Amino acid sequence: MTCTVLVGGFFGDEGKGKIASYLAIKDDMDANVRTGSVNAGHTVVWGDITYKLRMIPSGFVNPKTKLYLAAGCNVNPSIFLEEVKLTKVEGRIWIDRQASVIEPIHIERDRSEGGRIGTTGQGVGPAQEDRVKRIAKLVSEIDYLKPYLDDVALRVNEILDRGGKVLLEGTQGTYLSLIHGTYPYVTSRDTTASAICSEVGIGPKRVDDVIVVFKSYVTRVGKGPLKGELSEEEVRRRGWMEIATVTGRIRRAAPFDFELARRAAILNSATQIAITKLDSLYPEAAYARKFEDLPTEARMFIEHVENEVKVPVTLIGIGPKVEDIIDRRREIL
């Protein structure tokens, strides 16, 4: 039995899709469960195609991995069905019957009210609001979704009981948590590891590893504090300019924040760290295949993270593709 939780360490956009897809293949995951909703996009570069997914779990790249959407999800049915077709996962993806639905009225409300905090306008906050009021529509009430419905909590626990491997894929980042984030500039749910487990229906004693994903620099979309924020001109000069997957907005950027990283490790009970886009800080890192091959400055940065956060850095992203990973787990765990 192995249950791994993947959680963002900053404000989202850390590269969780890349790490989730890598783990699904490398560890041959039996199941990949996605939490959250369509206000978070996960990018997976697989083969010659770049997938920008808002519903389908990133582990779809392994054809043997069963895919699930958790009971805590807010499902936009049209986006879900579009992505099922795009990723060709018909027959191996299921939605928990308790998941709720984003309706057109939720999107309208979000776009008229969400400007105050800079939401994505995808209807997630209003859909969550209706769920708290106990008036939200569930996926079990949508006839054309019924072929995809199952008891995801039961299925995932059964897989663990059989000794299987399960990956829980969180969305957004620790500091967008409604509870632990930079309130009020946060999302409408808790985004930490414990909440990911709760959305799925996995008890805390079943978790073996919590991998917190950090990018080699910090980005944020929308309003809210960002310590050390750089000017757009400086962001472009450093090659850190990014466009948000869901909204198309330019991501604000700042250097790696060790203070936030330490706190994220505490809030999530991190057992491992994944660092992505190391090649954006140190371009020569893109040519490395082992930790020892990294430029001296890049190795020093990784060691500095480990010393400050007190958690081993086991996975290092050195390029955009799923396989562009230095995997140190056998060496240091």
Q: Where are the domains of the chain?
A: 2-332
> Whole-angstrom Cα distance, residue 269 to residue 242?
29
> CATH says 2-332 is which class?
alpha beta
CA pair distance 151, 153, nearest whole angstrom:
6
Q: Alpha-carbon distance 264 to 180, whole Å?
A: 10
pLDDT, residue 114, reads: 64
Parts of the chain with a pLDDT under 50: none
- In this prediction, residue 39 carries a pLDDT of 83
- Angle, alpha carbons 195-170-100 (nearest 5°): 70
pTM of model > 0.75: yes
What amino acid is encoded at 125 in this protein?
G
Write out the H or E segment, with its range, that includes residue 34.
Answer: strand 31-34
DSSP of 40-58: S-EEEEETTEEEEESSS-G
Catalytic sites, residue numbers: 13, 42
Q: What is the pLDDT of residue 307?
A: 98
- Please state the φ and ψ torsions of residue 299, each to the nearest 5 degrees: -65, -40
pLDDT of residue 296: 98
Write the single-letter amino acid at 46: W
pLDDT for res 312: 98
pLDDT at res. 61: 97
Q: What is the pLDDT of residues 233-272, one digit of tens each?
A: 999 999 998 887 667 778 999 999 999 999 999 999 999 9
